[in-house]
Structure formats: C-alpha cells, structure tokens
Structure 1
C-alpha cells in the first residue's frame, strides 16, 4: 500500500451460509493513502504530545537562558515524536484480514465463535498491532487483542465468543487496527470496510408427536393419495423398463402402441400446514425476551420445525398477508431444510406491524394454494376484539384442523374467556398460555383422538356475540 497502512472492503455474507465458512475477507492489495501528513500528526499519543511539548519548552528555555546543553536535550525530545510520525507515515504495509463465523446462524441464548485472521503480505514487518472488532452491544463488549510484531508473510489468528438473548440479525465489523511505533509515540487507526452478519433465530423446543386435525394426508392407513406428476411416473403411461412391476402394465395403452406400457403410480399426498403469527402492535403488550410476543415467535419456530420434521409442507403467514415461502406458500425445491432456514431467517427479524386487523391474513388463506383450503392451521393470536375474533372463526372454515394459541393475562379475564369460547365453538382447539408455560406440555393438549377434528361448527355456535352465524363471504 502506498503511503501507509490500511484495508480494503470485502463482500458481506447473507442468510444461508454454511457454518465454519469464511464469511468476509478484506483483500490484501490495499492502495489507499493515509492522507496529508497532518493526519499522521493526529495520531500522536499522550506520550508523543508530552515529548513534543517538553522538547519545545526546553528549546525555548535554552534559547532564553543561553544553555547549549539544554537546547540539545530539547531538540532531541521534540525530534523523537516527529521522527516516529514520519517513519510510521512513510512505512508501507499491506495487510489482509478475514473473519469466519461458526455457525453463521445460531439460536437465541446460544454462543457463536468468531475467528479473525490477520496476514502481513508486505515485505516489511509490522509494529505492535492492536486489533478491535466492532460488535453490537447486545452481543457483548467489543473484543480487543494486542498482536506483537508480524513478520513478512506471517499470520495471526484470534477468536472470541458472542452470545445474544434476543433474536435478530447483527452486523459484525468492520475490523479496526491500530498501528504504533516501538516508542509508543504515534498510534494510527485504520478500519477495513467489510462486515458480516450473524443471524440469531428464535429459540426452538422439541415438541412431542401428537395426532392433529388435518394430518390424515401422508400418515396412517387412511392417508390420501394423488397421482404423481413428476419423476419416473409421468403423467401419461410410459414404456416398460426392466425391473418394472408387471402389475403396473397398462394393457389398453399396450394394445394401442404395440409395446408394453406401464401406468403411472399413485403417491401419498404431502400434508400441508399454515402457521399464522399475529404481529399486530395493538395485539401485544410488553417487550423483551420474556414477553408474550417473543414467546409466540419462539412457538411458531418450534411448531414449524416440528411439522417439517414430520413431513408437512409448512408455510408461515402473518397478519400482513406475507407468506413464507413464496406468495402461495409453495414448497421450495431444496426441501424442508431450505424451507426451515427461510422461515427461521424470517422469524429472526419479524417485528410488530401496524395492521388494524387480520383481514389480509384471511384473504391470503382464501387465495392460497389448494383453492383456498388448508390442511392444518396453527395460529398464534394476540389480543383480538369482537370483530377480529369473528374473522378468526371464519378462518377455521378454511382448514381441516385448527389450533389456536392465545395469551392469558393481557386483558380482563371475562374478555379472554369470551374470545376462547367463540373460537372453541367455531371448531378451534384453543390453547391458552402464559410466557412462562412450557410449549411441549401445552402442545400435548392439541392432540385429537383419531387425528382429526370435528367439522367446523355452523349456525349460532360459530357466530358472534349476537348469535348470528358466521357465514363464508361469497368470493368474487
């Protein structure tokens, strides 16, 4: 690097990096100048300024008193920091730095380790280096390291741990290095421009396997089946291949084509589930890791991970109508692991919304995959007024089975009981909770004998307080 020491920016990492991979690198070929010489003078330490002031004072006193020996001492004291400034300013260093996160996605209340590597790629050894990485205060204090002289081509590696009780996406960096002279007269600080992202996802808990409404597809003897539309079993009968079961021979096509043709085979339909998270700001009270909203976010993450492990096609839906993955909740080609990663990354940064109600979520359920019909619906609801409770009752008609988790202790007891009663009469399996309640024990209460809920109630039971039925609005 011409004229000084510094670092150039590297590329920042995104969600989805594999643990243990280098997620940021500052290139070794750095060519920025320090700037004017006065910038180097700005790096004088307290010691350097003291030497400079003492030398100037001694020089003035020697001139006034006519003391030659004192003049030489004063000039020496003043010259030493000036020489250090000039040498450090003219010294050419090229330094490369990289950062590695293990892992780059971590659960709340878990630790991650950050590995820093510094390499001197210049032909001159460096002086004493002080290394500091910038991290948000929620991850802990800023780590600082002191590195001794780094020889040409030498490397130094250091690491530190970070931990967060709050979910989120936190930037790490940029890395700052301070270069000093052997006498400690000058200290120059330069920063690399790259930073990396640490994703802290909500804490998940393993849930017990229970039989839920809407999970008949793909489970048990009575599972539904659908015709395969991809893979070896094409939409139309295909030619016979060695090893095919003769019981799959399609004789009518065989007679028409003059060769053996086998029919497509039925495959089990993958069960679907929509997990609804109510993020309305007016629906929750309190904040922090022990609040009811954070409990709900963690619960959504646990339920989504649990159902993905059971083979469900899961999508996350919020009151804003946003659906993950995809606008229609379609499964990703990468499978459940990619879906889980996308859902967790979304939950890591989800926040309160300004939506007045659940209308957009209801419209998303009506217009979703499957003609507006869901298999299983799991909803984490906040406080709802009379109108929103009725709308939630209508959502029940869009699903084969429905589980609603509602908070307790946020409003008057009579109001909460009325909300729970209306949801129960509409066919929801209502599970009231407090932030201190373990989700696995609560999840067991969602089990339904036979694995399916009864049909959604109709008539006065599914209606609002006035007793009128909650009819499905006619679609355009």
Structure 2
C-alpha cells in the first residue's frame, strides 16, 4: 500500500514558489520577494507541524453482517473506531479493501452518525483481508497531509454462489431420495420382512405367525430402516482440465465450483446424504443434515483451485454405487471421456465446460447424461434433466 507524501500538491508548489522567490530576489534585486519566499516556507512548515505533531492512537473492531459472504451478495461492514488524540481531527477515512470485494469504504471523519459503516459485495471466491483503517487529514491551508493506519485487518470469506436448481426426479431404492427413511413393515406375508426371535417385552401384535410356524419358536416382525444410496458430487480440478490464468479468475472454473456447491446443497435438500470430493479423492465436504455441514462445504470450496491430477473414477466410487452421481469437469476429450465409468450410479450427470469433439458421445455410451456447462449454472442443470432416469427406471 503506497503511502501518501507529507505535502500536498499545493504544499509542494508553495515550497517551489518560496525557493523561486528567494532566487528571484537575488537576481532582480527585489527584497520583497525574500519576505514572500520566507513567509511561504514558514507557512508550509507550520502546516506540517499542525498536521503531523499531535499524537494519535486508536483501536478498530469490525463486524460483518454475514459470516460467509457469497459471490454477488451484499453485506454490511460496521466499524467501531476509538481515536485517542488531543483534538478530534476532521478528514477522510477509508478501509482498505481487496480486489475480491467491491464497495465504497470511505467517508468523512468524524461521521454524523458516530459510526463507520459501508456495504461490500463479493466478487471472487477466497479468504481476503479487510483493513487497516486509514485516516487522512489535511491542514486548513491544504499544504500538508497526514495519513495514518489504525488497527489490524480482519478476514472475510467469499464463498461460491449457490444457485437454486430444478428438482431431480430420480427414485433411488424404496426411499426414493430420502436418506435413512424408516418404514414399519406390518402385515403378515410381506415378502420383504425380516423376522427375528421373540424377546420378552415385545408386543404380541408383532408376532410373525408364519415364521413362528415355520421355525417352531416365536418370531416377531423386525422394523427395519431403508436407506437410499448417498449422492456423490465430484469436482474435477486437475490442472490439465483448466486454463491457468495466474491471479485472474477463470470464469469456467468459477462456474464449475458454483455448480458443485449448488448441486450438493440441492441434493441434500432432496433428502440424500451427499459426499463432495475432488478428482483426486480428497473430501471437500459432506452433507448429512447437520447445521454446520453446509458452511463447511462452502468454506472448503471458497479456497479450491485447479491443481494436481485426477484418479480413476471407479476407484473413487468404490464398491457401492451411489444414487445420483454429478461429475463436473473442464476440458474433456474423447479419450478421457471413454475412461469415465459411472459404476452403476442411478443417475449419472456429467458436466463439462469444454467438451471436445467426440467426448459427449464417448461418455454417453457408458450411461452419462452429458451437458455443456456455461455461465448459466441453472440452465445447464435444467438441460441435464430431460434425459434423467425416470421414476421406476433401473440403471443397467
């Protein structure tokens, strides 16, 4: 952060004029110019003393109205600034903001309301510092200035934007999209009952007479839990899939991260337990209905960037096929698409920001619904839905 000079442009001009008057007085023999030059120099020096001599100390505390700032979301920052000084200076304050957030973080000091506050809008994912608070004062003549920093910075976490998505009408198992759904299996003769031995205290109404007659001992109906397969969201962030743009944000990768967050939260809302991993198998978050799961996922996604290499998808899935499987990748050629196997996932959705020639057809042969992901995340998700597995369909 560049420091301001002690003299304003007017103050520097006054010193130059003072020096010119002294030199001109010797050249033209006009003593009055010496007086003018000395007066200008004295006034400039006095302005420097007035502005910079008083001792000032202060403390700053900041409070952001939202714990996590979403991209494109607006939040209010409130500062409590306590200044200890001989007199209350009049000037301008501004809070130093990173390029990742925008806002008018400046104003006159002291404020009429007695409180410093401003609005910020998230622009780019990440964890960014806000501060320090800068106070700039100028003397009454406008010749000298002082800019002083107060307090430390605090961080603000900008998380990816979560887009509302259309329902994914895929019925997986008996639970049909509701994880860990309990079902009382009453009625004799049900094919899917799991009888167990009678335990003292069991209700006589739960006796399974057919199983009792078959085994020669009292058996009762077992109330079991059905569970839907968990949903799996995979973000392929291997560096080969994305353009490396240095410090600039890659719009395609940002759309992929937004879809990753949106689809995971959407599937959790439909009742699935959701695991979110990257293409190397690193866990980015899990959604199991706990209060902090969502924030934990968003914080992890706030800091992801393209890096590393991807592993075989079959290895990542393991032996248990997931329910819905969402795979999000960048540049995808035909050879790599042919290697992606959904491993029996009930609904396999593949999103690519840049599918090359033949990639979509190669992936579709393995049961993927392939969709090009552009800047509109909700539209891409909607495009994937017409070809989804319908109610009662069983993937093969």
TM-score by length of 2: 0.73
- The answer to whether structure 1 residue 212 and structure 2 residue 170 are counterparts is yes
Runs of 5+ unmatched residues, structure 2: 185-199, 207-221
Q: Which structure 2 residues correspond to residues 262-277 of structure 1 after superposition, within 5 A?
A: 269=227, 271-277=229-235
Equivalent residue, structure 2, for 1:420: 363
Change in 2 beyond 3 A, CA 1:319/1:408 = closer
Distance, in Å, in 2 between the alignment partners of 1:191 and 1:274 is 48
Equivalent residue, structure 1, for 2:326: 378
Q: Which structure 2 residues correspond to residues 348-363 of structure 1 after superposition, within 5 A?
A: 348-355=302-309, 357-359=310-312, 361-363=313-315
Change in 2 beyond 3 A, CA 1:274/1:225 = farther
Counterpart pick for 2:382 among 428, 438, 441: 441
1:129–1:179: 8 Å Cα contact kept in structure 2? Answer: yes
Q: CA deviation at 1:200?
A: 3.2
Counterpart pick for 1:318 among 278, 291, 305: 278
Counterpart pick for 2:73 among 110, 127, 131: 110
Distance, in Å, in 1 between the alignment partners of 2:78 and 2:280 is 39
- The answer to whether structure 1 residue 191 and structure 2 residue 146 are counterparts is no
Equivalent residue, structure 1, for 2:195: none
Q: CA deviation at 1:58?
A: 4.2
Distance, in Å, in 2 between the alignment partners of 1:114 and 1:70 is 53
Distance, in Å, in 2 between the alignment partners of 1:112 and 1:349 is 20
Secondary structure of 2:391's match? helix
- The answer to whether structure 1 residue 176 and structure 2 residue 176 are counterparts is no
Distance, in Å, in 1 between the alignment partners of 2:180 and 2:61 is 55
Q: CA deviation at 1:443?
A: 4.7
Distance, in Å, in 1 between the alignment partners of 2:183 and 2:366 is 31
Counterpart pick for 1:432 among 371, 387, 393: 371
Equivalent residue, structure 2, for 1:47: 10
Q: CA deviation at 1:450?
A: 3.1
Q: CA deviation at 1:199?
A: 3.2
Q: Which structure 2 residues correspond to residues 269-418 of structure 1 after superposition, within 5 A?
A: 269=227, 271-284=229-242, 292-325=252-285, 335-355=289-309, 357-359=310-312, 361-366=313-318, 373-385=321-333, 388-393=336-341, 395-397=342-344, 399=345, 401-407=346-352, 410-412=355-357, 415-418=358-361
Instruction: Single out whichever of 169-178 and 314-323 deviates more from structure 2.
Output: 169-178
Deviations 1:89-146 (A, max 9, x none): 33122233333323342333333333344332x2522322222232234544774433
Runs of 5+ unmatched residues, structure 1: 1-38, 227-238, 249-263, 456-476
Counterpart pick for 1:101 among 61, 64, 71: 64
- The answer to whether structure 1 residue 162 and structure 2 residue 121 are counterparts is yes
TM-score by length of 1: 0.62
Counterpart pick for 1:82 among 17, 36, 45: 45
Q: CA deviation at 1:213?
A: 5.2
Number of residue equivalences: 362
Q: CA deviation at 1:319?
A: 0.9
Distance, in Å, in 1 between the alignment partners of 2:322 and 2:111 is 65
